[in-house]
Amino acid sequence: MISAIILAAGSSSRMGVPKQLLKLGRVTVLEQVLKTFRASKADEVLVVLGVRSVKRGRLLGARVVVNPDSSGISSSISVGLGAIDRNSEAVLFGLADKPFVSVGTVNRIIESYQTSRIGIVIPVYRGTRGNPVLFAREFFDELRTLSGDVGGKAVITKHPESIREVEVDDDGILVDIDTRADFERAKARFVQLKRRPPR
């Protein structure tokens, strides 16, 4: 079983407003991320929201868990890991401000783990690593010991021998929304994607 955890409890300090709730067309940035993961081969999808969020229960088919601690991304990782199915053998961490990752990319990461059983799987676009990143169960305890605003990169740095890089033709793994300028570019990109004829 593969779980996906979408980290969406950040304070959006550079944006000034919760960036995951900004609208791309008819959906919020977070809803677009959740749609992608729900359409993927992940067996369950959880979203970690901040304590100020009014949303409880489920969101677009994803189970909502609330992080009462706002000290950094590490606490959201721990809360998410505490809520996944106990039979989960690996977790894919997605970020709520990366709405352009494709379903195909998520599936490639999952499939790469399932065929290789290498414990950390990272997507790469033209030589640059991006997100989402998958961690096998063997790293769960180490991820739970992270503190402050420290994410999975700390674990990745310590275990170069356990990394599998997966080349993807998807610059969405690198595109996030941190500032107003980022958001304006994201809106324009979203409109362009919607105008493309279906394949």
Hey, CA dihedral for 137, 139, 156, 101, is it positive or negative?
positive
Q: Determine the average pLDDT of the residues in 148-163.
A: 92
Q: How many CB atoms lie within 10 A of CB 148?
A: 9
pLDDT single digits (tens) 6-48:
999 875 555 556 778 788 888 899 999 999 999 999 999 999 9
Give the domains, in start order, of the chain with CATH numbers: 2-195 (3.90.550.10)
Computed over every residue of the chain, the mean pLDDT equals: 89
pTM assigned to the model: 0.90
